[in-house]
Every structure is written in C-alpha cells, then in structure tokens.
C-alpha cells in the first residue's frame, strides 16, 4: 500500500517535471508592456521570434493599412516597438513570396511545417476562424506560452 | 524693477493649469465637454448631442463592412469580439468598464482607427459626442 503511494508520488513528480520541460520548449519572451498592449489589442501579441527583421520592418511601416484594419501608431512609438521586435527577430531569413518579405507568421514555412498535422477543417471552422488566431488552440498564447501543456484543439 | 517676478507669479498658475489636466486621469464628462466645444466651433447651428442619434450611428454600417457594433456588440455594456480575429474586447460603456474614456491618448487613437475602418474618414466631434452620449445612457 505504502509502496504504491510512493510509486504514484514519484510518477507524479516525473510527470510534472516532464510537463514543465515541454512547456518550456514552446515559451516565448514577448518583450515589454508597450508591445503587449499596442500589438495585443486586436489579437494576441505574436512572438517576435517567429518572423525575421525584414518582415517586422515592413509590418511596422504599413500599420495604417494592416490586414484590412487601421492599426496606425505615433511614429516614435512605432519606432520603439520595432527596435524591440528586431532585437528578438528570427535570424534565419524567410523565402519571400513575390519579392516583398512575408507578413504573416502563418505563411512561413516554419509555421506550415509545425502545424502540418492540424486538420484543414479546424483552420476554417467557427471555433478557430483562421490560423492567425493562435489562442483558439494555444490557450495561453496571450502570455507567449505555446507549449504542449496549454495546447487544446477545439472540436 | 519687480515687474519680472510679478509676471512669473501670474504665469505660474497658468502653466500649472496647462499641465494638470493632461496629467490626471480624465472622466467621460471631460470628453463630452471637449467634443461639445469643437462641435460648436465647427457648426453655429449645433444643438447639443443626442443619445438616440448616437445609438443609430453606432449600430449602422456606413458604406464599409463594419459598424461599431460589429466589434463592440449591439449591447456595449457586454464584452465585444473583434470582427476578424474573434479576440474578446472589454465593454465600451463606462458603466460597465471604468477604464473607458479615462485617457485622451487611448480615446483619440481608437476613434481615429475605428472611424477610418467603419466610415473611411475621421468622425466629426458631433458624431463622437453623440456616441458618448449614447454610451453614457447605458446601465449595467
């Protein structure tokens, strides 16, 4: 009886440790509060590490025409946010579609590869409404946590 | 000889008066007063704001795909949802969300963006005042 409890306890500890390690794998530093507030108002603040600097530059240059929405910022504030993004940006450049830098994380080869097992009907369905809505599956995306422990696919 | 210091003392409260309003948190009524001032200056026939007109403006589309209600809901004491991303947006009515209409920077930034998205132009002071008058009639 006692032995069983001990085994159970050790198993639980190992499980917790493993769980923590997995979560660490998918955890991103989102940078300062200004980025989280300004770029997290309409969607989760995306991890800066998931696009190369050229993409962030182009995004920040065209904020007043941002995927069909006006996300315009005052120039000084946009410049400060861009500095933070570039400092953490992905080092490996992304093959550019038709010349310009890729503007969507969801269109990078990395994203497609990482998500190739997600069934197509899920992306389009009402629970997700498009791949850009990370939080529909990554329940703690708002905090930069994309680890497996907080991943839950909607039905 | 004492003219300079006197002027300085006269100017001091004025200078403080200029600094203090921007430093403290603002209330919805401060915005109402400001929109009223601008609306009056723009139109001599201005007769004050109308909550009814504001409600109609808020719930109608103006040529583009969205109305204000598309993201802020038909019932602005309840949370809204971004029309594209689905992200939750806290209620817009001050009665349900004390942070609303408390920062000029926020209010101006979002009116600029959202009016652009909904009307493809800036909102007039009258339109902003009407919407705020409407929001202030709402109770939780």
- What is residue B8's predicted lDDT score, i.e. its pLDDT? 53
When pLDDT is cut at 50, 70 and 90, the band that residue A20 belongs to is: very low
Which residues does chain A have within 8 Å of residue B86's beta carbon, measured at their own beta carbons? 129, 133, 136
Interface test with A, best of B79, B87, B100 (most A CBs within 10 A): B87
Instruction: Report yes or no: A99 at the B interface, CB cutoff 8 Å.
Output: no
Report the mean per-residue pLDDT for chain B. 88
Q: Which residue has the higher pLDDT, A18 or B58?
A: B58
A72 falls within a domain: yes
Contact present, B112 and A70 (Cβ < 8 Å):
yes
Cα–Cα dist A64/A74, whole Å? 11
H-state helical runs in chain B: 3-23, 28-42, 51-59, 69-72, 104-119, 125-137
pLDDT value, residue A4 = 53
Residue A72 DSSP one-character state: -
| Residue A19 counted as domain residue | yes
Return residues 86-105 of B near A (CB < 8 Å): 86-87
pLDDT at A10: 46
Averaged pLDDT for residues A68-78: 96
| Per-residue confidence (pLDDT) for residue A24, from 0 to 100 | 52
Strand partners of residue A69: A66
Q: pLDDT band at B6, cuts 50/70/90?
A: low
Put simply, whether A9 touches B (Cβ < 8 Å) is: no
pLDDT digits 0-9 by tens, B11-36: 554 444 444 445 567 999 999 999 99
Q: In the predicted model, is pLDDT for residue B87 greater than 50? A: yes
Compute the distance between CA of residue A64 and CA of residue A72 in angstroms, rounded to an integer: 4
Q: Give me the phi and psi of B88, to 5 degrees please.
A: -65, 140
Q: State the nearest Cα–Cα gap between A136 and chain B, in angstroms.
A: 9
What is the count of structural domains for chain A?
1
- Confirm whether A38 is domain-assigned: yes
Mean of the per-residue pLDDT values of chain A:
85
Q: For A14-18, A111-115, B20-24, B87-91, which range has the lowest pLDDT when averaged over its residues?
A: A14-18
Minimal C-alpha gap between A133 and chain B (Å)? 6
Residues of B whose CB is below 8 A from A69: 84, 113, 117
- Position A99 confidence tier, pLDDT thresholds 50, 70, 90: confident
Whether A155 is covered by a domain: the verdict is: no
More confident residue, A94 or B134: B134
Instruction: Give the tens place of pLDDT for each residue, A27-57.
Output: 999 999 999 999 999 999 999 999 999 999 9
Dist CA A128 CA A136 (whole Å): 5
Quick check: A21 pLDDT over 60? Answer: no
Range scoring the smallest mean pLDDT among A54-63, A121-130, B2-11? B2-11
Judging by beta carbons within 10 Å of its beta carbon (0-12, 13-18, 19+), is residue A85 exposed, middle or buried? buried
Domain encompassing residue A7: 2-150
């Amino acid at each position: 009886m006692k032995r069983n409890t001990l085994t159970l306890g050790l198993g639980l500890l190992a499980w917790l440790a493993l769980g923590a390690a997995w979560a660490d794998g998918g955890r991103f530093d989102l940078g300062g509060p200004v980025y989280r507030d300004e770029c997290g108002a309409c969607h989760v603040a995306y991890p800066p590490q998931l696009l190369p600097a050229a993409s962030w530059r182009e995004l920040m240059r065209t904020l007043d025409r941002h995927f069909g929405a006006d996300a315009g910022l005052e120039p000084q504030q946009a410049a400060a946010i861009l500095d933070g993004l570039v400092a953490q940006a992905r080092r490996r450049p992304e093959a550019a579609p038709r010349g310009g830098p890729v503007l969507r994380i969801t269109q990078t080869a990395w994203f497609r590869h990482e998500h190739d097992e997600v069934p197509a009907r899920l992306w389009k369905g009402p629970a997700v409404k498009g791949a850009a809505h990370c939080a529909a599956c990554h329940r703690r995306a708002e905090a930069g946590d994309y680890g497996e422990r907080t991943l839950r696919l909607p039905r | 000889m004492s003219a300079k210091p006197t002027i300085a003392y006269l100017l001091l409260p004025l200078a403080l008066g200029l600094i203090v309003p921007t430093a403290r948190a603002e209330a919805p009524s401060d915005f109402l007063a400001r929109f009223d001032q601008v609306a009056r200056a723009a139109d001599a026939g201005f007769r004050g704001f109308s909550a009814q007109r504001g409600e109609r403006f808020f719930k109608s589309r103006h040529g583009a795909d969205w109305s204000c209600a598309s993201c802020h809901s038909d019932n602005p004491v309840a949370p809204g949802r971004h029309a594209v991303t689905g992200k939750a947006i806290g209620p817009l009515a001050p009665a349900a969300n004390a942070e609303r209409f408390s920062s000029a920077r926020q209010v101006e930034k979002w009116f600029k963006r959202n009016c652009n998205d909904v009307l493809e132009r800036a909102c007039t002071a009258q339109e902003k005042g009407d919407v705020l008058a409407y929001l202030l009639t709402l109770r939780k």
